[in-house]
Structure 1
Amino acid sequence: MGAMSVRIDITGLRPDQVAVVPSPLAELGMALHTLAEPQHHPGLQGWVTGVTARLEAHLADRMCEADFLWRTTFSDLFLPYAGLPGATALPGATLAEELDLLDKLSDEQFVAAALEFTCALPYSDPGPGPLADAALRRRALELAAARGPQQVRFSERLLTDPPLIRAWLRQFLTDCDEAFFAETWSRLRHQLAADARHKTELLRHKGLAEALAAVSPALSLDDAARRITVDKLGEGRTATADSGLLLVPTSLGRPHLMVLHRYGWHPVLHYPAGPAVPAAPPSLDQLTLRMSALSHPVRMRLCRSLARSAFTTSELTHAHGMSAPEISRHLSVLKKAGLVSTRRRGRYVYHQLDVTTVARLGSDFLESVLR
């Protein structure tokens, strides 16, 4: 398996076109993601428990209706300013302002972004959306069917009546703000503003390379080639062109470093601010088993899928072009190492990576060789 990365062409990018701005809508997206996948964020268990305990049943039910928009990581719909034409689109100061920006996306943009995780649409390349392409629309509904009746209903309504779903989503996000997010944002926004000021100072006085190094060690700048490379288990490309580069800090989003590289949208780096949370290492035998399980290139590729969502063996067979017995054999190795969990929903059996365990492997290894 060769090196994989997302590349951002920054030819012609001026220093004044790089902005670091917190986004309440992006942070609400990460809040919903954390509530849907708390194991991605072990340091936020207390916050998750507190919010869940006082969540009204009606809002919790609505949260399940469209959770594919934020469960896998989160949808580009939470960064709508990146889809707007012109070089000056930035996050709003308030959630209401950003919901107004979301309303400015076209129906085509909204539907394509909403179906990203269901439909596997072309992401970095041009192409028609599911509103215009009947084959894509059929494929989206077939994939939704594998996820259950709730996702089928949502996808059908989205494709049939985008304005209805857009109004639903805006009302839902407003209700989440009133129920729990306004209080959370009032605490987080000062930390995120401070981080944005710090990165902006680095940009101004030290340059883009220093600022990117402070954002994440996974980012590197090749000044001669005018390219930023993001070390990711995925391929992608985008360009700043005349639109600039936006960096959005998140407190709830650790450890996710996300790159918006959708065709026709401005590039955005959505990066974790604040310290990581340490955890106790496993036994040396467990550690050896886990690292050995992850050393196989096919299992590494499977982990890329399983880290983002739960998949059936059949879905993995289709996505990776392998036979069901091959997939099952690799899943068995990952499960024996305690890296993959399995759960049944109706007649489907879903597998998912235990990202909390995988996230600890680096520090686990270091502590094991030092003790």
Structure 2
Amino acid sequence: MGITLNLQRAQPADVHVGRSPLAELMSVLHIMAEPDHHPEAQRWTHRLGTAISPSLAHEMSALSPLWARLRCRLLFPLGLPLDQPFEDELRHLERLPLEEFVGLCSQGTLGFREAVPPARSLLTDPESAERYVAQCERRSFRRGELAHDLVASPEALRGRLLCFLDSCAETFFATEWRTVRDRLESSAARVRTDIRRRGLAEVLAGLSSTAVVSRGGSRVRYDKLAVAEIEIGPRPLFLIPSVHVWPHLIVKDEESHPVVLQFASQEDRTADQLTQAELRARMSALASLGRMELCRHLLGEPITTSELAQRLGLADTQVSRTLRQLREAGLIESEREGKYVYHRLATSTLLRLGQDVLATIMR
């Protein structure tokens, strides 16, 4: 599984790197909508939540399908230039042709990679609109309610959304944007420089530890639940850094719009992500009762292979084999002191394992 970027036709002019306050706000709203999925941000989200009025919180919940899972393409830059002020991005949404607004909003409301009726059908065909609402209701009651509002009065929903986004900026996001904008510009500048020096494929691969480069650098694949191949060039690629997007790497591929890749800025990557193979190796290592028993002896004071063998009543060679499996999985640390090698449990790795499992499932 995964999303592959095909770079065979990509030219430097096809790749644009820049900030988007609207996309950053959506990352914040995503964390607010799914706080259990982002334990690393719980203190921050709690503090932010205290600044939000009950009415704004209610509207945040009602509109949350647009950013809770399959983030709506509507809230990423739809064209050049990047680095527009937040107010200009909202004005662009306000002026967007109604059919284009409905097309993008309908996919975001459904929140799943599944075909939705064309926007023209939703606007002119009551039966098509009714089927679409039922399609969203099957996903969740909240999505069904939002779908109903969209087909009943798309302009009214657009007005609600713009008012909500503006209220978010006034209540908390303007302050947050002032905090992160310079860091994001630094990250964007670094990526622009790296593309010139190292090439596009290497830079794209560096945005995720799960990336695999193939066919001589003409393809970059990311570990994602979706399966797709996206051709870059002459269709543009927008690279948008984010402070709040980790552990996700967001790839948006709506036809007739630029491809968007939103990535965690380098200094804001809380930890390197594991590949699925690395995660399986760690969990498999802990699934054995024998290896688990050995881990209990490794917790605390470092210990030699011979001492472990004596405690467990096993041959040195058998213990060495088990230690090698645990070391390859990153679960123990070994250090030589004089003529002995001492082993101890990598407790920091074990403490991270729950978050690593969640991050691997989420991306």
Q: When the two structures are superposed, what TM-score results if normalisation uses the length of structure 2?
A: 0.69
Q: 1:109 aligns with which of 93, 97, 100?
A: 100
In the alignment, what sits opposite 1:369? none
What is the distance in 2 between the residues matched to 1:183 and 1:93? 17
| Aligned partner of residue 196 in structure 1, secondary structure | helix
Displacement of 1:149 in angstroms is 5.3
What is the distance in 1 between the residues matched to 2:96 and 2:188? 26
Is structure 2 residue 204 aligned with structure 1 residue 188? no
1:139-190 residue CA offsets vs partner (Å, 9 max, x unmatched): 3211333466554332222112211111111111000000000011110111
Q: 1:158 aligns with which of 145, 150, 155?
A: 150
In the alignment, what sits opposite 1:347? none
Matches within 5 A, 1:1-371: 4-81=1-78, 84=79, 89-119=80-110, 128-129=118-119, 131=122, 136-146=128-138, 150-222=142-214, 224=216, 226-273=218-265, 274-277=267-270, 288=283, 359-361=355-357
What is the distance in 2 between the residues matched to 1:53 and 1:179? 11
Change in Cα spacing, 1:6 to 1:127, as seen in structure 2 (3 Å) is farther
What is the distance in 2 between the residues matched to 1:262 and 1:29? 17
Displacement of 1:40 in angstroms is 2.4
What is the distance in 1 between the residues matched to 2:264 and 2:52? 26
Sequence identity percentage: 27
What is the distance in 1 between the residues matched to 2:116 and 2:42? 40
Moved more, 130-139 or 6-15: 130-139
What is the distance in 1 between the residues matched to 2:109 and 2:208? 29
- The 8 Å contact of residues 141 and 152 in structure 1, kept in 2 or not, is answered as yes
What is the distance in 1 between the residues matched to 2:259 and 2:240? 11
What is the distance in 1 between the residues matched to 2:139 and 2:116? 27
Compare relative contact order (CA 8 Å, sep 6+) and give the higher one, 1 or 2.
1
Larger radius of gyration: 2
Displacement of 1:290 in angstroms is 11
| Aligned partner of residue 206 in structure 2, secondary structure | helix
- The 8 Å contact of residues 237 and 260 in structure 2, kept in 1 or not, is answered as yes
What is the distance in 1 between the residues matched to 2:215 and 2:238? 18
Change in Cα spacing, 1:145 to 1:169, as seen in structure 2 (3 Å) is same
What is the distance in 1 between the residues matched to 2:359 and 2:116? 41
What is the distance in 2 between the residues matched to 1:257 and 1:223? 22
What is the distance in 2 between the residues matched to 1:178 and 1:240? 37
In the alignment, what sits opposite 1:308? none
Moved more, 254-263 or 99-108: 99-108
What is the distance in 1 between the residues matched to 2:194 and 2:214? 18
Displacement of 1:90 in angstroms is 3.3
Change in Cα spacing, 1:42 to 1:250, as seen in structure 2 (3 Å) is same
Q: Cα RMSD between the aligned structures?
A: 3.2
What is the distance in 2 between the residues matched to 1:276 and 1:121? 26
| Equivalent residues, number | 284
**Counterpart code for 1:195:** S
Moved more, 184-193 or 127-136: 127-136
Structure 2, unaligned stretches of length 5 or more?
Answer: 272-281, 288-351
Change in Cα spacing, 1:103 to 1:92, as seen in structure 2 (3 Å) is farther
Change in Cα spacing, 1:153 to 1:288, as seen in structure 2 (3 Å) is closer
- The 8 Å contact of residues 10 and 227 in structure 1, kept in 2 or not, is answered as yes
| Aligned partner of residue 115 in structure 1, secondary structure | helix
Displacement of 1:118 in angstroms is 4.7
| Aligned partner of residue 90 in structure 2, secondary structure | helix
**Counterpart code for 1:188:** V
**Counterpart code for 1:229:** R
Q: When the two structures are superposed, what TM-score results if normalisation uses the length of structure 1?
A: 0.67
